Amino acid sequence: MKLPPGEPMDAQAMRDALQAINMNQGGCARFAGLDERTVRRWVSEQDNVDIPLPVQMLLRLMVVLDLKPNQVRRLVGQPALTADELSRPVGRPRPGGSDRAEAAIQRELTKGKP
């Protein structure tokens, strides 16, 4: 990412930063606990939305220090995300996701029952 220090991050610089840390827009949204539409607005040239300063600072630090998303999540006590969660676009179901969810619901419903 080639962005001179002191200059605000624009949409192209954010796309470059995400590429540098191997994260797409959906992964960024999951990583930060945001709605994908929010991230999409930040990386869209046409919306001309300012990227919040904390997001700019975090992305710059991750690029400069070569920090991976899960390293940052561990630093703040959050569970790691799978490679699929970091790269899968939001809105596309994860393979077998509904089956796993159904199994988890069934386990909860039968907990403590003989």
3-state secondary structure the chain: CCCCCCCCCCHHHHHHHHHHCCCCHHHHHHHHCCCHHHHHHHHCCCCCCCCCHHHHHHHHHHHHCCCCHHHHHHHCCCCCCCHHHHHCCCCCCCCCHHHHHHHHHHHHHHCCCC
The pair phi, psi for residue 88, each rounded to 5°, is -75, 130
pTM of the model: 0.71
- The predicted pLDDT at position 13 comes to 92
Taking the domains of the chain in order of start, what are their residue ranges?
11-110
Give residue-wise pLDDT tens across range 53-97.
999 999 999 999 999 999 999 999 989 988 888 887 755 555 555
Give residue-wise pLDDT tens across range 29-51.
999 989 989 999 999 987 778 99
